[in-house]
Each structure stands twice: as C-alpha cells, then as structure tokens.
Amino acid sequence: MGDATSLGRELSTLVPLRIHEVQDSDPMLTIVGDDWSATLVGEWARRRGDQVVTSWGGADAEDVVGDLCGLDLVDVLFPDPNFDGDCSFILSDGHLDVRSDRSGFETLTFGHAKLGTDFVGL
C-alpha cells in the first residue's frame, strides 16, 4: 500500500486516464478505466470551476456522475502534503474533491496495473 500523497508523482507518468465506468452506491463512488480504478468513500463533490455539480448523498448524484464517463483523469492534488485523506482528482472538465472525516477510515483508494500497489488515503 503506497502513501496516497505520492500518487500525484506516480500518476503523472500515466495520465491522461479515460473514465469508462462509474458506479455510485452512496456513500461509495467507484470510477473505472482501462487497468485502473479509484474508489471514494464518504464525502465527495463533483465541481466545474467553483460550482458544485453534485455531491455524495445528492438526489441527482447517480445520474450526474454517469456523465464522468468519457472524461479524462489528468492529475491529482493534495491540499496538505502531510495529509493523504483530502484530495482533488483533476478531470478534463473540472474536478472531483474528496474530504476525509478524519476518522482513520479510508476515504479513497487508487490502483493501476502498472503501479503494482494501491494508494490509500485515510
């Protein structure tokens, strides 16, 4: 299991990654592409610019996150380099923000066949 804050460095050699499938089963959002997947658990928000398009628990979340299919994951940013539970997955048309509840449980996992390890944010 790798340190999630190192994910940005590792991901830079693999992007862009096309999103092919999205599964929303509140509170879990799973994003799948060729040889990679990301699972977000708990608080997440889909944004375009400063506007929230939808978020976890939203009545329209399942329909709206389906629109992620066909977009590219182009980067991941961690606002606090010393904490791996909060991050923003940068997409080709906005971003998907993940926020930890600081409980010590996983908020995100990311795996890619070429990396040989899964990255976990708590």
Q: Where are the domains of the chain?
A: 2-114
**Band of the pLDDT at 2, cuts 50, 70, 90?**
low
C-alpha span between 78 and 83 (Å, rounded): 8
Q: Where are the beta strands (DSSP E) in the chain?
A: 2-3, 17-18, 21-25, 28-33, 36-41, 43-48, 51-55, 72-77, 87-91, 94-99, 108-112, 118-121
What pLDDT sits at residue 75? 95
Mean local confidence (pLDDT), 46-70: 91
Question: What are 79's two structure tokens?
Answer: 């606002």
Q: pLDDT digits over 85-120, tens only?
A: 899 999 999 999 999 988 888 889 999 999 988 988
